[in-house]
Amino acid sequence: MKIGFIGLGAMGFPMARHLASEHEVIVWNRTREKAERHSREHGTKLAGDIRDCANADAVLTMLPTSREVDEVVDLIAPALRKGMLFIDATSGDPNASRQTAARLAELGVDFVDAPVTGAIVGAENATLTIMIGGTSAAFERAKDILRLNGKTIIHVGEAGAGHAIKALTNSIMGATVWITAECMLVAKQYGIDMKTAFAVTNAGSGRSNASENLLPTRLVEGKWPLVFKLALHDKDIRIATSIAHQQHASTPMLALTSQLFTGALHELGDQADYIEVAKIVARMNGTEW
Ligand code: NDP
């Protein structure tokens, strides 16, 4: 199968590599050097123009937000052909993706939103969990391609449903990271050793990915890697908040989480990692980790 892949960032670069193990993959990236490197290292075909990616059976986008996806769709729509499949793996906005699905349907192109979870390590090891919105037929087509990227591929509902659950589940993670950092700070101030505090938490009901993996790396080992931009996490929580607003839902925890993350983003800047919100938790208490 021929696949056009657009967006070779932290997630897209390894995802396109796995697809190339079985398919002919044509790559395009805004910063061309990355696409050149991908082509050189993984035998993918370098697109001369972004529209070359439409000369394929399927197009896959892995971009920051739905805004960039819309820009890409504007550019390549004239080159898309009836019967093609468009997979948007971006963690996008379900309202935007529903519109994109309708727009592409007019061209006879199937659309699925297929955001992923599992971080860069999951993209590298092809162990992502992938949540898909779209028709059952489009889901089956997308699944047959994305099985090279993930172990768990779930059909969530119609177009937009994948993006909706992705934003909601990342919001759960955001709130969990924040409250865990707060409680760990209090434990530290109380004089409890951080390693011990995590050991107890992880042996009990406070356990989460934040307490088992994300925070110990930073607060015990003192390593603060950039694995997922805070700007992207903030975007996910804002999407969740807007969905809640549309449903007229009462979600004070979600609203608070969104406010905290947006404040942290303004404080830490565009290039910060999402777990650096723990630094803000400490600063709010006049201290550092
Ligand atoms: P990166 O910032 O690493 O990569 C973004 C990609 O989008 C790059 O290829 C970048 O090109 C491209 N891009 C940015 N702006 C534009 C534009 N205006 N036009 C065309 N291309 C553009 O992000 P990630 O790979 O980390 O994230 C991608 C998506 O995956 C996001 O929606 C994110 O929320 C989601 N995600 C990320 C996870 C993670 O752990 N990192 C985990 C799960 C989901 P260039 O190289 O030129 O900058």
Q: Where in the chain is the domain with CATH 3.40.50.720?
A: 2-158
Can you tell me whether residue 271 is helix, strand or coil?
A: coil
pLDDT of residue 283: 98
φ, ψ dihedrals at 113, nearest 5°: -95, 130
Ligand 1 atom at minimum distance from 30 CA: 47
Determine whether 281 is exposed, middle or buried from the number of CB atoms within 10 Å of its CB (0-12, 13-18, 19+).
buried
Question: Which residue owns the Cα nearest ligand 1 atom 20?
Answer: 30
pLDDT tens, position by position, 159-201: 999 999 999 999 999 999 999 999 999 999 999 999 999 999 9
Check pocket membership of 278 for ligand 1, CB cut-off 6 A: no
Mutate to test the pocket of ligand 1, among 5, 11, 37, 128 (most ligand atoms within 8 A of CB): 11
Check pocket membership of 63 for ligand 1, CB cut-off 6 A: yes
CA 183 to ligand 1 center in whole angstroms: 32
The CATH class of 164-284 is mainly alpha
Ligand 1 atom at minimum distance from 67 CA: 18
**In what helix (H) or strand (E) does residue 6 lie, and over which residues does it extend?**
strand 2-6
Give the list of residues 6+ apart from residue 124 with CB closer than 8 angstroms, or none.
14
Distance CA 187, CA 246 (A): 38
Check pocket membership of 30 for ligand 1, CB cut-off 6 A: yes
φ, ψ dihedrals at 206, nearest 5°: -85, 5
Kindly compute the dihedral angle of the four CA atoms of residues 9, 12, 14, 15, in this order, to the nearest 10 degrees.
180
Going by the DSSP 8-state scheme, the letter that residue 50 receives in this structure is: G
pLDDT of residue 83: 98
The answer to whether residues 215 and 198 touch, using CB atoms and an 8 Å cutoff, is: yes
2-158: CATH, from 3.40.50.12780, 3.40.50.2300, 3.40.640.10, 3.40.50.720: 3.40.50.720
> CB atoms < 10 A from the CB of 31, how many?
10
Check pocket membership of 263 for ligand 1, CB cut-off 6 A: no
Task: Using alpha carbons only, give the angle 119, 285, 281 rounded to the nearest 5 degrees.
Answer: 10
pLDDT of residue 252: 98
pLDDT 10s digit of each residue in the chain, 289 long?
999 999 999 999 999 999 999 999 999 999 999 999 999 999 999 999 999 999 999 999 999 999 999 999 999 999 999 999 999 999 999 999 999 999 999 999 999 999 999 999 999 999 999 999 999 999 999 999 999 999 999 999 999 999 999 999 999 999 999 999 999 999 999 999 999 999 999 999 999 999 999 999 999 999 999 999 999 999 999 999 999 999 999 999 999 999 999 999 999 999 999 999 999 999 999 999 9
Check pocket membership of 232 for ligand 1, CB cut-off 6 A: yes
pLDDT of residue 167: 98
Q: Where in the chain is the domain with CATH 1.10.1040.10?
A: 164-284
Distance CA 158, CA 75 (A): 25
Check pocket membership of 91 for ligand 1, CB cut-off 6 A: yes
